[in-house]
């Protein structure tokens, strides 16, 4: 059974058709990186997986349960899914440890001592065990994003969604977040990652999906899609991303 299965997904914002008949699966333990230009529908696809965006048409299944079914217990379904956003979305008035325990105690109804033990373990996993009493404003952007990852992991998800998790970071802080994500991949976490980090996608992904204009143009292994793309639109995108100073001439 796939962890995620999407059938004929269509999503529009007003007259703009953002997703056009997407069919897509993510298998257990698979790391899938979704790449493509801005406005191609990547983030909307990710947000439809946990129904932060509601599609007009199509079905989304998570571990066999259709979360687009109106009778689905959405909170229970979402509890299996961890999501890390571009912005860190930490509670500014709570310290690091509290940020990682509040959802455990309120949503999963864990006892405080159990929640704290799990949070401490995950903060150590992301290299922040020494920052548990710090507040978000006292942390760098990379540290805040790692807290956000630890918070998501503390909910024991079977699937992690990452929506361009390094795009809001200074370039020198990107590496520390990608290192944590590499470790998660090695641990067998099922991950669906929207990213502009081509080196990360090439190194970590089991599969790369290239999207443009609301459709999946091409997908395959990193060597296939990034190393030897077959579609002209994929080739054009990768030329611009991998060699941004190149200027095409005509005549």
pTM for the model: 0.92
What is the rounded CA–CA span in Å between residue 178 and residue 139?
A: 17
Mean pLDDT by 10 residues, the chain (251 residues): 94 94 95 95 94 94 92 85 90 96 92 96 95 96 94 94 91 90 94 94 95 96 95 94 66 45
Residues pairing with 13 in the sheet: 16
In the numeric block, which tokens belong to residue 99? 């940020």
DSSP 69-96: STTS-HHHHHTTEEEE-SS----TTS-H
What is the rounded CA–CA span in Å between residue 96 and residue 2?
A: 34
Pick from 18, 21, 13, 14: nearest CA to 39: 18
Choices 3.40.1050.10, 3.40.920.10, 3.40.50.300, 3.90.226.10: CATH for 27-51+73-242? 3.40.50.300
What is the rounded CA–CA span in Å between residue 18 and residue 145?
A: 28
* pLDDT at position 168: 84
CA dihedral 50, 51, 53, 54 (to 10 degrees): 150
Contact 162, 143 (CB under 8 A): no
Domain boundaries, the chain: 27-51+73-242
* pLDDT at position 49: 94
* pLDDT at position 73: 87
* pLDDT at position 78: 84
* pLDDT at position 246: 56
């Amino acid at each position: 059974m796939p962890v995620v299965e999407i059938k004929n997904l269509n999503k529009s914002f007003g007259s703009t058709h953002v997703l056009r008949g997407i069919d897509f699966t993510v298998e257990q333990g698979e790391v899938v990186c979704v790449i493509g230009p801005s406005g191609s529908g990547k983030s909307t696809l990710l947000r439809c997986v946990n129904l932060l965006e509601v599609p007009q048409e199509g079905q989304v299944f998570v571990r066999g349960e259709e979360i687009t079914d109106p009778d689905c217990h959405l909170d229970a379904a979402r509890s299996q899914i961890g999501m890390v956003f571009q912005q860190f979305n930490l509670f500014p008035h709570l310290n690091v440890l509290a940020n990682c325990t509040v959802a455990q105690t309120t949503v999963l109804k864990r006892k405080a001592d159990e929640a704290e033990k799990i949070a401490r373990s995950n903060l150590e996993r992301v290299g922040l065990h020494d920052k548990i009493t710090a507040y978000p404003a006292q942390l760098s952007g990379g540290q805040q994003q790692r807290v956000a990852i630890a918070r998501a992991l503390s909910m024991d998800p079977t699937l992690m969604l990452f929506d361009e998790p390094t795009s809001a970071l200074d370039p020198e802080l990107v590496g520390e977040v990608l290192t944590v994500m590499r470790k998660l991949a090695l641990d067998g976490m099922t991950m669906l990652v929207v990213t502009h980090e081509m080196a990360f996608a090439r190194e970590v992904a089991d599969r790369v999906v290239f999207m443009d204009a609301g459709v999946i143009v091409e997908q395959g292994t990193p060597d296939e899609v990034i190393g030897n793309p077959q579609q002209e639109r994929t080739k054009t995108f990768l030329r611009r991303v991998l060699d941004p100073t190149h200027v095409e001439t005509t005549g």
